[in-house]
Amino acid sequence: MAKYFDVHPDNPQRRTITTVADDIRAGALVAYPTDSCYALGCQLGNREGIERMRQIRDLDDRHHFTLVCQNFAQLGQFVYVDNDVFRAIKAATPGSYTFILTATKEVPRQLQHPRKKTVGVRIPDHTVTQALLEELGEPLVSSTLLLPGEDEPLTQGWEIKDRLDHVVDIVVDSGDCGTEPTTVVDFSGGEAEIIREGAGDVSRFE
């Protein structure tokens, strides 16, 4: 049965955030809010958690997981970013974008695209997510909480708790955070390629 935490969207309770972060370090799989949809997340080295995300979402090994980072300095540890790409991404973060870039050696192989050796990264503009990332001191491996056969992600914490009670360990509820996933921009080829139009404005990359 999943633990359920009701967290204030603007002033998240520090004790609760600390408890959630401790559980994630201990191997928990969490459903948590972001600035575009709820997501599933676990610690970077949690192989079991990553496999559980694959099973919940019915994903194959070509799926790009996302490293959800607190800030640009953290993001730069996990992907290679040249000067032109740096400026483009810096201007759009934090925000509702996921960027696909070539992974550094800090990224476990199972998180990389098997052929391209890329990984998705993003910096969310969400108070609760940022508080959790600050407490963790490292990225969350994440995937949008979109269940197989469904057209829209789950958006209500109580519904997530009800439907995923026995397959996730924690549900963090801070209210509705929308149904539109991030805009995905692939920079791995050196220039911006829009992979998915979502919550982030695509015009700055066209």
Q: pLDDT (tens digit, 9 = 90+) per residue, 22-70?
A: 999 999 999 999 998 899 999 999 999 999 999 999 998 778 789 999 9
Report the pLDDT value the prediction gives residue 153, as an integer from 0 to 100: 86
Report the pLDDT value the prediction gives residue 76, as an integer from 0 to 100: 93
Alpha-carbon distance values, 204 to 66, 132, 185, 200 (Å): 21, 29, 11, 10
User: What CATH number is attached to the domain comprising 30?
Assistant: 3.90.870.10
d(CA 184, CA 194): 6
Q: Which pTM value belongs to this model?
A: 0.95
Tokens of 196: 């998915």
pLDDT in tens, 170-190: 999 999 888 888 999 999 988
Cα angle vertex 123, ends 119, 124, to 5°? 125
d(CA 62, CA 92): 26
Helix, strand, coil percentages, rounded to 5, for the chain: 30, 25, 50
- Which residues constitute the domain of residue 182? 3-205
Report the pLDDT value the prediction gives residue 140, as an integer from 0 to 100: 98
Name residue, tokens 């994440």.
Answer: 142
For residue 94, what are the contacts with CB-CB under 8 A and spacing of at least 6? 35, 123, 124, 125, 130
Higher pLDDT, 64 or 192: 192
Name residue, tokens 């990359």.
Answer: 205
Domain count, the chain: 1
> Whole-number mean pLDDT of the chain?
94
pLDDT in tens, 104-118: 999 998 898 888 999
pLDDT in tens, 112-162: 888 899 999 999 999 999 999 999 999 999 999 999 999 888 888 999 999
